[in-house]
């Protein structure tokens, strides 16, 4: 989580570009998704983290070479009943962390199902990281590192084993993702020089009655192309 | 890879440089915007007293500047720098103060971007800046936030520029608020709090898609902060101005919640963020009685939540398109993945679940009230009582879906009370739905039956009372109400009797459907029955793996026993858990039995209505199983009847199997109906090799239609594992390859069977629609074995399979009921 702002000698601070990415966490219930986020964003760990209801949302910024990367983290509830809601969260996500528990083989199978689903339904350029959490529980391991690593290599995924409890590899995970994400402005979304249609801005969309799908409004108004 | 800390003096130097850079950037921003007005004054709340506008005959230069894209871009770049520096500072602070994780060795592949322990540099020669609180302190001391907000609301500031300033402020706050965790008191500092609330006010007034979304993101950060430091909550609660002699302050507005109101209905990410923040707030204020009373009684909160439910419900398609696939009878996960509106709706219903779970009792009560008055009564009623069959079918399916998705017991009880709430003289919604069981449209009937299955699965006794028990109690008060009155041997004899209802041709079958048609002699009845009684799973022949077709085996009777055991356990335990207090509170039987019966004059013609229109309709349908019905409807029907019989109440069981000898009326009871059905089927499908072949083919066809459990389109039958025949028609192509296959060794029987099943439409027979205007009992013509009418035989074959499965289901339930009443706590 440390952000060391790099700087070329004598120049202004590297307040170069800020890139914002939507990142979603998926995985079976109780594998440690919320704990991972909490550890990364707030540096906390609670032994008895309450079950996520709906989805929780937090942001975290990391500084990376010349750029600043801001993660918008959508932490989803893992129970099966919420499965059909997942597309609403991973739609438009640039990155996903699929979490399993190294002491729970079933959660690993579920993780593989998530990988398949994302490969079919999500944004084709989505960066996926597979994470075996609870690495601190060495004596209860049932999913071997090599097996998961092999699977990840086969599918082109990032892979790390982490421990939200001890903090091992948590920051590395997010930094690895930050590094892998493309830091160019994709055409048509967050391009430079976007102007806000002043007429549209002046119209107030009161009430917000639903209707129509929600897009991810990540472009800035005015000329702010980033963040 | 870790390096030694640098010397102190150069660290100081780089810190100083960082601060200077931020100062320089801010001065540039300020310089750019200052010409707007030199004397804008902000009051101590977010309202601004603006300096009087002097009348300009010419447009001021600053206004022209701020309308230039070039200038706006420059402004953005400057803010980017500020935000970057802030982000770095915040990260630094968090790092310094978080509990130390165990540090791994730096991974060379991750390069220079890895965080390092404090005071450590990153290698490869570039100078490192360590940012500290100086930057934050500068931001605070210089009132950067208030000043920027002031510029943005200045009357001279053009809209686009103002929007951009608000945008940038939100970005700053997004970063800042997360830093407040270190010292939450920072949040209450005037030069942060005042512009924060002011910004929220302005953004609420001047809506924009992007600022809305960003604001909701900031709100999430804020609620997280408040969770850690709840004593900051009062800063986000507006109170009435103090009145002399008033003992305590009245709450005027819970701002942390009301800022979310405009966004709760949003169907995009803004809405998701808003709802997530709502839940966080409810958690935070859980124990604050005053606040919750205000939320429930004075604020618009519950009203807005329920109107959101209405909005998402009304956006659902009026017709379910997948309803046109045969066998569809309720919303399943596959439907949800195919429909964006259903996903949104589901998410919102889950949100309501979460609200009920997390909120204070007074808020729960208010929400429930509005749920009934503003959603159920106006919106759902209208949907269920439309003219168009297809729309009613959709509405019923959605209602079923809501009932299954809602978790909260109060909301469910509310739904039940709504169902039977009645206005005088008219049918209530429940009666209306019961009426749809005999609807001419078999699809609507099927969906209705699925809805009643859902209702019965709730194990809610007042409902059972309303649908059945009150009729039985009134008309047959002498019916035994105790399970202990029966004779065990009588009960087991009943089980055997039920098994004898299996159609003759079905009794010839082995478990393994892949064995040749010509093999094996038809077994005599008793040994065929032995096959079904107590045959252990291990004795079943191993399924023959065929290269082209999946192995097909019939469920063993022991599977039915196991399923019955589980269902009984679940249902009886749920019923036992209901307390007397619950029963009193939930009594729904205020409506007179006579009155309900009078609302169904057609059924009264039959004389079976004393059992109530619900059961009467089901028995009526069953009576016509051979003649009229759609196979999917039949499956739902038998599933529903067996579900009724799972209930512990002996009156139901005793009535349907008319154990009591004092039967005055000549209604058609279950055993009689089934016996008649079996007789009719046996006349059409002979107990011969041909009959066996026909039945076998029927089983294959139906079993092929079940989808494997691990596929994403898996649909559980209404009765769970029992209904292996529940068709979930997701791949009709599977079947078309199956039909019309002619093997070189085809026997004469197979030829006949093929001709029956490849006639015209090879699909499973849809119903002859139930077209009679008066529901009189009709007997189909008797088919002799010599003149098989292929269509009739096919239809009878499906009926035979259904009856065979149904009989086993009932027999299993019977046996397990006996066990359950005999053994105080049976081991499961």
pLDDT one-digit tens code per residue, B56-104: 457 788 888 888 899 999 999 899 888 887 777 766 666 555 444 333 2
What's the rounded Cα separation, in Å, for the pair A119 and A122?
6
What are the residue ranges of helices labelled H in B533-669? 557-577, 580-585, 593-598, 601-604, 613-623, 625-628, 631-646, 650-656
**Across A139-153, B111-125, B318-332, B629-643, least confident range:** B111-125
Give the closest-approach CA distance of B279 to chain A in angstroms: 8
Question: Do the chains contact at B111 and A65, CB–CB below 8 Å?
Answer: yes
Which chain B residues have a beta carbon less than 8 Å from that of A35? none
Which chain A residues have a beta carbon less than 8 Å from that of B73? 192-193, 223
Question: Do the chains contact at B354 and A53, CB–CB below 8 Å?
Answer: yes
Best B67, B115, B310, B334 member to test A by mutation, with max A CBs in 10 Å, is B115
Question: Do the chains contact at B116 and A2, CB–CB below 8 Å?
Answer: yes
Neighbours of B12 (CB within 10 A): 11
Give the closest-approach CA distance of A141 to chain B in angstroms: 20
- Cβ contacts of residue B445 below 8 Å, gap of 6+? B436, B437, B438, B439, B621, B633, B770
B-contacting residues in A 165-184 (Cβ below 8 Å)? 166-172, 175-176, 178-179
Give the pLDDT score at B484.
62
Counts of helices then strands in chain A (DSSP H, E): 6, 7
Smallest Cβ–Cβ distance between A87 and the set B128, B174, B337 belongs to: B337
Best B135, B138, B160 member to test A by mutation, with max A CBs in 10 Å, is B160
The answer on pLDDT for B696 being more than 70 is yes
Element (H, E) at B252: strand B251-254
The answer on pLDDT for B746 being more than 70 is no
Q: What share of chain A is helix, strand, coil (3-state, %, to 5)?
A: 30, 20, 50
What's the rounded Cα separation, in Å, for the pair A193 and B164?
13
Give the pLDDT score at B589.
58
What's the rounded Cα separation, in Å, for the pair B263 and B274?
6
Q: What is the pLDDT of residues A177-198, one digit of tens each?
A: 999 999 875 432 332 333 333 2
The answer on pLDDT for B703 being more than 50 is yes
Please list the residues that pair with A130 across neighbouring strands.
A98, A159
Give the pLDDT score at B669.
80
For residue A101, which phi and psi values (nearest 5 degrees)? -105, 125
Structure tokens at B127: 């100078």
Question: Do the chains contact at A211 and B315, CB–CB below 8 Å?
Answer: yes
Which chain B residues have a beta carbon less than 8 Å from that of A83? 333
Give the pLDDT score at B36.
84
pTM over 0.90: no
Number of residues in chain A: 227
Which chain A residues have a beta carbon less than 8 Å from that of B354? 53-54
What's the rounded Cα separation, in Å, for the pair B577 and B652?
20
Give the closest-approach CA distance of A17 to chain B in angstroms: 8
Structure tokens at B324: 């046109």
**Across A6-20, B269-283, B665-679, B806-820, least confident range:** A6-20
Give the pLDDT score at B487.
75
Which chain B residues have a beta carbon less than 8 Å from that of A220? 76, 167, 210
Question: Do the chains contact at B275 and A175, CB–CB below 8 Å?
Answer: no
Question: Do the chains contact at B114 and A172, CB–CB below 8 Å?
Answer: yes
Best A165, A176, A224 member to test B by mutation, with max B CBs in 10 Å, is A224
What's the rounded Cα separation, in Å, for the pair B66 and B497?
90
Tell me which residue of B218, B302, B296 sits closest to B251, measured CA to CA. Answer: B296
Angle (nearest 5°) at CA A175 between A170 and A179: 155
The answer on pLDDT for B561 being more than 90 is yes
Q: How far is CA B147 from CA B151, B179, B378, in A?
A: 6, 21, 49
What's the rounded Cα separation, in Å, for the pair A191 and A225?
6
Give the pLDDT score at B538.
40
For residue B295, which phi and psi values (nearest 5 degrees)? -60, -45
| Sign of the four-CA dihedral B471, B474, B477, B482 | positive
CB distance B114 to B107 below 8 Å? yes
Q: What is the pLDDT of residues B422-451, one digit of tens each?
A: 554 578 899 999 999 999 888 899 999 999
ipTM of the complex: 0.76
Residue A49 contacts B, CB cutoff 8 Å: no
Give the pLDDT score at B163.
95
Best A8, A10, A13 member to test B by mutation, with max B CBs in 10 Å, is A13
Give the pLDDT score at B6.
43
In sequence order, what DSSP letters do the residues of B154-178 get, joined into one string? -TTS-HHHHHHHHHHHHHHHHHHHH
Residue A199 contacts B, CB cutoff 8 Å: no
The answer on pLDDT for B564 being more than 80 is yes
Which chain B residue shows the shortest CA-CA distance from A203? B207
Q: What share of chain B is helix, strand, coil (3-state, %, to 5)?
A: 65, 0, 35
Question: Do the chains contact at B72 and A13, CB–CB below 8 Å?
Answer: no
Give the closest-approach CA distance of B62 to chain A in angstroms: 17
Mean pLDDT of all residues in B529-553 = 44
Question: Do the chains contact at B101 and A170, CB–CB below 8 Å?
Answer: yes
Smallest Cβ–Cβ distance between A54 and the set B159, B276, B333 belongs to: B276
Helix axes B190-205, B209-228, angle to 10 degrees: 140
What's the rounded Cα separation, in Å, for the pair A9 and B131?
16
Which burial class, exposed, middle or buried, applies to B683 when counting CB atoms under 10 A from its CB (0-12, 13-18, 19+)?
middle
Mean pLDDT of all residues in B255-271 = 95
User: Quick one: pLDDT band at residue B296, thresholds 50, 70, 90?
Assistant: very high
Question: Do the chains contact at B344 and A210, CB–CB below 8 Å?
Answer: yes
User: Quick one: pLDDT band at residue B14, thresholds 50, 70, 90?
Assistant: low
In sequence order, what DSSP letters do the residues of chain A get, joined into one string? ----EEE-TTS------EEEEEEEEEESTTSSHHHHHHHHHH----TTPPPP-SEEEEEEEEEETTEEEEEEEEEE--SGGGGGGHHHHHTT-SEEEEEEETT-HHHHHHHHHHHHHHHHHS-TT-EEEEEEE-TT-GGG--S-HHHHHHHHHHHT-EEEE--TTT-TTHHHHHHHHHHHS--S--TTTS-TTPPP-HHHHHS---S----SPPP---SPSTT----
The answer on pLDDT for B540 being more than 90 is no
The answer on pLDDT for B8 being more than 70 is no
Tell me which residue of A171, A190, A187 sits closest to A38, measured CA to CA. Answer: A171
Give the closest-approach CA distance of A112 to chain B in angstroms: 13
CB distance B276 to A54 below 8 Å? yes
Structure tokens at B472: 């039985």
User: Quick one: pLDDT band at residue B186, thresholds 50, 70, 90?
Assistant: confident
Give the closest-approach CA distance of A78 to chain B in angstroms: 13
Give the pLDDT score at A41.
85
Which chain B residues have a beta carbon less than 8 Å from that of A12? 21, 24, 81
Which chain B residues have a beta carbon less than 8 Å from that of A56? 220, 276
Question: Do the chains contact at A72 and B114, CB–CB below 8 Å?
Answer: no
Q: What is the pLDDT of residues B438-491, one digit of tens each?
A: 998 888 999 999 999 999 999 988 899 999 988 888 766 665 566 666 677 788
Give the closest-approach CA distance of A71 to chain B in angstroms: 11
CB distance A85 to B340 below 8 Å? no
How many A/B residue pairs have CB atoms within 8 Å?
A: 285
Helix (H, G, I), strand (E, B) or coil at B362: helix
What's the rounded Cα separation, in Å, for the pair A86 and A91?
8
Question: Do the chains contact at A224 and B111, CB–CB below 8 Å?
Answer: no
Smallest Cβ–Cβ distance between A55 and the set B81, B217, B272 belongs to: B272
Question: Do the chains contact at B160 and A205, CB–CB below 8 Å?
Answer: no
Residue A158 contacts B, CB cutoff 8 Å: no
Which chain B residue shows the shortest CA-CA distance from A212? B267
User: Quick one: pLDDT band at residue B734, thresholds 50, 70, 90?
Assistant: very low
Please list the residues that pair with A96 across neighbouring strands.
A24, A128
Give the pLDDT score at B191.
83
Tell me which residue of B745, B764, B749 sits closest to B693, measured CA to CA. Answer: B749
Quick one: how far is CA B432 from the chain centroid? Answer: 24
Which chain A residues have a beta carbon less than 8 Å from that of B76? 220, 222-225
Question: Do the chains contact at B350 and A176, CB–CB below 8 Å?
Answer: no
Question: Do the chains contact at A64 and B113, CB–CB below 8 Å?
Answer: yes
Give the pLDDT score at B586.
58
Give the closest-approach CA distance of A1 to chain B in angstroms: 6
Give the closest-approach CA distance of A151 to chain B in angstroms: 20
Which chain B residues have a beta carbon less than 8 Å from that of A168? 101-102, 104
For residue B329, which phi and psi values (nearest 5 degrees)? -140, -5
Q: Which residue positions in chain A have pLDDT lower than 70?
A: 1-16, 185-227
Average pLDDT, chain B: 75
């Amino acid at each position: 989580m440390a952000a060391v702002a790099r700087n070329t000698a004598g120049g202004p601070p590297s307040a170069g570009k800020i890139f914002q990415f939507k990142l979603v966490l998926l995985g079976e219930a109780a594998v440690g998704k919320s704990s991972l986020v909490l550890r990364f964003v707030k540096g906390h760990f609670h032994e008895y983290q309450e079950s996520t209801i709906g989805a929780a949302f937090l942001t975290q910024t990391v500084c990376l070479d010349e750029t600043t990367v801001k993660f918008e983290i959508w932490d989803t509830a893992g129970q099966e009943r919420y499965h059909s809601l997942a597309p609403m969260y991973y739609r438009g996500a640039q990155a996903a962390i699929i979490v399993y528990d190294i002491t729970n083989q079933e959660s690993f199978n579920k993780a593989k199902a998530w990988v398949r689903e994302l490969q079919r339904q999500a944004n084709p350029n989505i960066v996926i990281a597979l994470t075996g959490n609870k690495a601190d529980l060495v004596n209860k391991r049932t999913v071997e590192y090599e097996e998961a690593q092999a699977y990840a290599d086969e599918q082109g995924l990032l892979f790390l084993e982490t421990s939200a409890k001890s903090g091992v590899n948590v920051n590395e995970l997010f930094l690895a993702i930050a590094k892998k994400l493309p830091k160019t402005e994709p055409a048509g979304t967050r391009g430079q020089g976007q102007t806000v249609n002043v007429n549209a801005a002046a119209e107030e969309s009161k009430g917000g009655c639903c209707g129509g799908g929600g897009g991810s409004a990540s472009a800035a108004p005015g000329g702010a192309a980033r963040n | 890879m870790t390096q030694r800390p640098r010397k102190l003096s150069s660290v100081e130097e780089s810190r100083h440089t960082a601060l200077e850079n931020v100062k320089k950037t801010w001065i540039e921003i300020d310089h750019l915007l200052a010409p707007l007005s030199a004397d804008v004054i902000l009051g101590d709340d977010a309202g601004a007293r603006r300096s009087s506008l002097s009348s300009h005959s010419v447009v001021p230069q600053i206004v022209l500047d701020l309308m230039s894209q070039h200038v706006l871009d420059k402004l953005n770049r400057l803010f980017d720098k500020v935000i970057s520096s802030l982000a770095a500072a915040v990260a630094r602070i968090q790092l310094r103060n978080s509990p130390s994780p165990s540090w791994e060795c730096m991974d060379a592949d991750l390069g220079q971007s890895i965080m390092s322990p404090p005071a450590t540099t990153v290698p490869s020669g570039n100078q490192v800046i360590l940012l500290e609180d100086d930057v934050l302190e500068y931001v605070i001391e210089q009132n950067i936030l208030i000043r920027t907000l002031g510029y943005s609301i200045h009357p001279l500031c053009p809209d686009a520029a103002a929007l951009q300033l608000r945008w940038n402020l939100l970005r700053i706050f997004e970063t800042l608020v997360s830093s407040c965790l270190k010292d939450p008191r920072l949040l209450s500092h005037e030069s942060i709090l005042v512009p924060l609330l002011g910004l929220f006010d302005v953004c609420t007034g001047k809506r924009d898609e992007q600022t809305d979304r960003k604001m909701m993101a900031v709100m999430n950060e804020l609620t997280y902060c408040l969770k850690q430091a709840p004593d900051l909550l009062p800063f986000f609660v507006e109170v009435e101005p103090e009145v002399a002699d008033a003992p305590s302050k009245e709450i005027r507005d819970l701002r942390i919640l009301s800022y979310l109101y405009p966004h709760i209905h949003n169907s995009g990410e803004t809405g998701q963020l808003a709802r997530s923040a709502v839940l966080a707030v409810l958690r935070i204020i859980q124990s604050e009685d005053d606040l919750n009373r205000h939320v429930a009684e004075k604020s618009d909160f519950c009203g807005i939540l329920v109107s959101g439910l209405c909005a998402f419900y009304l956006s659902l398609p009026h017709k379910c398109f997948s309803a046109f696939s045969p066998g569809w009878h309720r919303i399943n996960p596959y439907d949800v993945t195919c429909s964006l509106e259903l996903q949104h709706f589901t998410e919102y219903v889950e949100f309501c679940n979460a609200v009920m779970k997390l909120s204070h009792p007074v808020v729960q009560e208010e929400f429930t009230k509005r749920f009934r008055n503003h959603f159920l009564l106006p919106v759902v009623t209208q949907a269920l009582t439309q003219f168009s069959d297809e729309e009613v079918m959709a509405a019923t399916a959605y209602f079923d879906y809501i009932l299954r998705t809602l978790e909260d017991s109060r909301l469910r009880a509310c739904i039940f009370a709504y169902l039977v709430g009645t206005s005088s003289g008219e049918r209530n919604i429940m009666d209306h739905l019961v009426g749809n069981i005999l609807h001419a449209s078999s699809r609507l009937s099927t969906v209705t039956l699925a809805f009643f299955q859902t209702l019965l699965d709730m194990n809610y006794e007042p409902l059972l009372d309303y649908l059945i028990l009150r009729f039985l109690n009134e008309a047959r008060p002498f019916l035994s109400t105790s399970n202990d009155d029966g004779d065990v041997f009588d009960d087991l004899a009943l089980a055997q009797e039920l098994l004898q209802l299996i159609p003759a041709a079905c009794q010839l079958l082995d478990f393994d459907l892949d064995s040749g048609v010509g093999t094996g002699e038809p077994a005599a009845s008793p040994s065929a029955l032995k096959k079904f009684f107590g045959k252990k799973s291990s004795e079943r022949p191993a399924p023959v793996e065929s290269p082209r077709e999946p192995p097909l085996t019939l469920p063993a009777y022991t599977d039915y026993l196991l399923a019955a055991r589980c269902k009984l356990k679940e249902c009886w335990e749920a019923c036992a858990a209901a307390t007397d207090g619950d029963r009193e509170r939930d009594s729904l039987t205020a409506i007179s039995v006579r009155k309900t019966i009078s609302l169904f004059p057609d059924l009264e013609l039959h004389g079976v209505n004393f059992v109530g229109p619900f059961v009467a309709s089901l028995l009526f349908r069953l009576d016509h199983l051979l003649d009229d019905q759609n196979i999917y409807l039949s499956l739902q029907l038998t599933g529903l009847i067996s579900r009724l019989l799972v209930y512990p109440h002996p009156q139901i069981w005793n009535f349907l199997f008319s154990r009591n000898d004092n039967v005055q009326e000549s209604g058609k009871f279950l055993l009689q109906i089934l016996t008649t059905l079996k007789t009719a089927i046996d006349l059409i499908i002979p107990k011969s090799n041909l009959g066996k072949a026909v039945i076998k083919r029927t089983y294959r066809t139906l079993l092929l239609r079940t989808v494997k459990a691990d596929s994403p389109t898996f649909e559980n039958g209404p009765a769970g594992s029992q209904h292996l025949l529940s068709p979930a028609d997701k791949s009709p192509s599977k079947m078309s390859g199956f039909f019309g296959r002619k093997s070189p060794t085809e026997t004469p029987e197979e030829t006949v069977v093929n001709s029956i099943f490849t006639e015209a439409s090879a699909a499973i027979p849809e119903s002859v629609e139930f077209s009679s205007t008066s529901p009189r009992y009709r007997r189909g013509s008797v088919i002799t074995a010599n003149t098989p009418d292929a269509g009739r035989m096919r239809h009878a074959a499906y009926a035979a399979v259904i009856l065979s499965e149904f009989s086993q289901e009932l027999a299993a339930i019977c046996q397990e009921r006996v066990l359950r009443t005999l053994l105080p706590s049976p081991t499961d």
